[in-house]
Amino acid sequence: MIEQTAAAAELYDAPRFASELANQPATEVFRQALNHAADHFNQRFHQGEYVHTLVNEQAAFMDLLLQQAWRQFSWDRAICLVAVGGYGRGELHPHSDVDLLILVRHGRPERYRDNIERFLAFLWDIQLKVGHSVRSLAQCVSEARNDITVATNLMETRLIVGEAKLLEKLRYKTSPKKIWPSALFYSGKLEEQSERHKKHGNTEYNLEPNVKEAPGGLRDIQLLNWVAKRHFNVSRRSQLIAAGFLTEEEYITLRRDEEFLWKVRYGLHLLAGRAEERLLFDYQRALAEQFGFFDSDDRLGVEKFMQRYYQVVLSIRELNDVLLQYLDEMIYKKDRVRQELVLNERFVVRDGLIDTVDDYLFGRNPPALLELFALLGENESIRGIRAATIRQLRLHRGLIDESFRNNPHNKALFLRILRSPWMLSLQLQRMSRYGILGSYLPEFGRIMGQTQHDLFHIYPVDVHTLQLIRNIRRLVRPEVAEKFPISSHIYKSLPKPELLIIAALYHDIAKGRGGDHSKLGMVDTEDFGRRHGLTEQEIALTSWLVEHHLLMSTVSQREDISDPDVIHKFASQVGNRRRLEMLYVLTVADINATNPKLWTDWKGSLMRDLYFETKRALRRGLEQRADRAEWVADSKQAVREILQQREISEALSSELWQGIGDEFFLREKAAHIADFTAAVLAQSDPSQPVILLRDVGDEVPVATQVFIHSRDRKNIFAIAAATFDQLAITIQDARLQTTNDDRAFDVFYLLDDNGRPFATNERLSQRVRTALERAISSPENARFDVNRRTSRQLKQFSWNTRVTLSNDIESNTTVIEVVTPDRPGLLAHLAQIFLRFRLRVLNARIATLGERVEDIFYITDEDHQPLIDLELCQQLRETICTELDRRNRQDSDAQRSVAI
């Protein structure tokens, strides 16, 4: 049994308890005791009590309660009640199961059946969450021999009440001398951990991590305890210091990290009202406030809290890796080195792992802290770092100070690392994990574990940065080059690829400081370049890339890149082909490193089109500006030539095109316009809409194009948006043309709910066509209510909608930008608002970034003029904000009520 604390004894006053049992039903007395204890411990938690104390005292209190419950029944000396699992370790969180083993000496426990059933029924009646098993001594040994999980559970047994010798016998028969010897147990638990990590994506950085099971979680600490305790035959983790397995610093670190995760877990259980182990968005903000992480001008409190969480699990993962490896190398494989290769007078390779020549190298020669990683990046055959050397890295990383950073030899070593021919991203990841990178570049150390509380940025800033570098370096691989051929070709032809790596390393380095992180990062990049001896040209290039790393994605997704004026403006900002090429590679890799699930071939096609059009503009010369009218004339002529081959006269096409703006001929391909024209002219019933579907893309389909033509309809955009929403189809781009006589020539680019083109899916295509025809022909019957539910995660984001309006002189339109949390039916709702205000939507660029949308609409009034009535503009802005925010609040309130 664990030592009974004063608090447990105070909560369980034996004489008072006995008196209450004599006067009240037993179930009522026990329930009151449990509720009173829960209130007591929870109050102390909110007052900031050390969680290790609380979970230990709760286990001690539970022992007393179970002893009293057990003694209500008659037992002999051949049975005992044993705590197992977490409760067996003397740990009990608010809603964790109380895991029990009812152990009998021999044979079957039938003679105890009635009492056992009554005992368990009593525990359930008092609403105790119990996990239980009833086994004989022989059954326990047999099951433990066949199942490592059972063997692990029995390592953490603790007598609650009953025959102590029976438990001692069980421990002996399930000890390493009898079953699961230390080395076999180690390999089994390692395999178990590998499978568990795989279920969580092998990353510590999930948006909603599992505090217990994910990499770096509490289970990793427990596994470390299990394998070490089994090998050294000790019962307490503190005894592993004397055994030479843990250093005092490592013990303190594990204890500190465990305390933080226990605190998070305890808070999670209280908020959820159940044994919730997932750190869901539903609870992150509340926990942040509870633990004293509040919003500031530059960062949200929840982001500060999650940064602390990720730093802790990274620390646990680091110790878990190095200590398990140390156990394997120094104990199980001791004196069994088969191959040894001397690299230089400082480093050797032993069985494929790099090692120092002695334990004092880094203290004697601090630059070796960087040289180790340079050697790793220059020798493909080295698999990793020996555990003893990792421990030395951890011990000596404090030597990296300002003097170390200013040492020319160390600066050269760092640039040497950035030029590594092999696995650069892995070397940087190792440097980051062992605290070397953040020490050498303090600005990088500040972004370690730093999160952005949204669904778009799925990794902390440091992990995203290293993923970006990985994406760039992988461009040399054939399978990656096939997916990103332009980026691959550019990267492989760069004379100094390390310059792009430097830009990648610094592109987000200033996030979380407040202000424009691109401009602040540019300053840091310039400083890095000068400290490391880059030329002024190289400094100018890398700092420009950092300052403008968002430019290409912004222009491609938010502006009309079919417009020669947009291309000329972008080309002027870029200035030369070298910047364009490096910016293209950086942007493609950056988007995929931010959230690969949100990358689509459609976005890739926009980027590719912008790249090639800008390249042509730069080749032509910025002073030779493209003539917009000439582009339109060339497009029309190309369409007429195609139509002529189909025996459609120029007169017919010209008549049909009356009132269609130049944008139609700039945006769409000549072959597509010819198909649109032919289909409209072939329509026998003018009252019926013309609808064409096809997948489009240069080499592979990137989106489904839907062309809609109808007469006497002003609300096609609203009808189409609602229809697509009903079918869970997302609009990527909407290019809308309505003539003065209300003929619509609208082109939409769409993806299905899996982010793919769908024209070849006959069933879905027919559903789209039928739904559009029905809605357009009978708009009074069109459904604008969307039944799709808002996801649980989206409901957590309910910040206020932002709307900006500005008039664009060149397009003679009003540009409306709407930034708001994403919700099903959002686009249809906006379309209805435009309809109520009698506005015409000429173009729409739709961008969904995780939990938010940033949609841009080009509109006019009924007379095809931009909005100049300031009162009308203000009324439109207020209507959009009020109605969308009302939807958001309703979703969030509903989610909170469910959580409560």
Q: What is the pLDDT of residue 810?
A: 74
Whole-number pLDDT of residue 782: 63
pTM of the predicted model over 0.75? yes
Q: Beta 158-162 vs 340-342: how paired, if at all? A: unpaired
Extract the tokens encoding 692.
Answer: 């064409």
- Phi then psi dihedrals of residue 694, to 5 deg: -160, 150
- Per-residue confidence at 899, pLDDT binned at 50, 70, 90? very low
Distance between CA atoms of 68 and 70, rounded to whole angstroms?
A: 5
Q: What is the pLDDT of residue 233?
A: 87
Q: Which of 834, 844, 710 is nearest to 772 (CA)?
A: 710
The angle at the Cα of 385, spanning 383 to 386, to the nearest 5 degrees, equals 115
Residues facing 703 on adjacent strands: 696
* pLDDT above 80 (res 25): yes
Query: 154 near 144, Cβ under 8 Å?
Result: yes
pLDDT tens-digit series, residues 32-46: 999 999 999 999 999
Task: Dump pLDDT digits (tens) for 369-418.
Answer: 999 999 999 999 999 999 999 999 999 999 999 999 999 999 999 999 99
Residue 200, exposed/middle/buried by CB under 10 A (0-12, 13-18, 19+)?
middle
Q: Is the pLDDT of residue 889 over 60?
A: yes
Quick check: 524 pLDDT over 70?
yes
Mean pLDDT calculated for residue range 295-304: 89
CA distances, 346 to each of 362, 528, 702, 779, 872 (Å) = 9, 28, 54, 79, 75
For 731-775, write each residue's pLDDT tens digit.
888 888 877 777 889 999 999 988 899 999 999 999 999 999 988
- pLDDT for 896 equals 47
Please report the pLDDT score of residue 421 as a whole number. Answer: 93
Q: What single-letter DSSP state applies at residue 353?
A: E
pLDDT per residue over 672-689, tens digit each? 999 999 999 998 888 889
Banded pLDDT at 789 (limits 50, 70, 90): low
What is residue 893's predicted lDDT score, i.e. its pLDDT? 53
* Spatial distance between the Cα atoms of 181 and 642, rounded to a whole number of angstroms: 80
Residue 793 confidence (pLDDT)? 61
Tell me how many degrees the CA angle 537-539-540 measures, rounded to the nearest 5. Answer: 65
pLDDT the model gives residue 811 = 76
Residue 73 and residue 290: Cα distance in Å, rounded?
Answer: 43
Distance CA 738, CA 709 (A): 9
Report whether 692 contacts 678 (CB < 8 A).
no
- What tens digit of pLDDT does each residue of 101-154 get? 999 987 666 788 899 999 999 999 999 999 999 999 999 999 999 999 999 999
Nearest-angstrom CA–CA distance, 32 and 72: 18
For residue 852, pLDDT over 90 is answered with no
pLDDT of residue 599: 82
Q: What is the pLDDT of residues 585-640, one digit of tens each?
A: 999 999 999 877 778 888 899 999 999 999 999 998 888 777 788 888 999 999 99
Tens of pLDDT, residue by residue over 685-732, are: 888 899 999 999 887 899 999 999 998 666 788 889 889 988 989 888
Could you write out the three-class secondary structure of 116-165?
HHHHHHHHHHCCCCEEEEEEEHHHHHHHHHHCHHHHHHHHCCEEEEECHH
Q: Taking residues 546-560, what's their average pLDDT? A: 93
Query: For the segment 799-851, what is each residue's pLDDT rounded down to a tens digit?
Result: 678 999 999 887 788 999 998 887 778 888 898 899 889 898 888 888 777 66
For the chain, the average pLDDT equals: 89
Query: Does the pLDDT at position 360 exceed 70?
Result: yes
Q: What is the pLDDT of residue 6?
A: 61
pLDDT surpassing 70 at residue 165: yes
pLDDT at residue 900, rounded to an integer: 38
- For residues 26 and 72, the answer to whether their CB atoms sit within 8 Å is yes
Token pair recorded at residue 147: 């199942």
Q: Are 7 and 57 in contact (CB under 8 A)?
A: yes
The pLDDT of 219-243, averaged and rounded, is 91
Checking if the pLDDT of 898 tops 50, the result is no
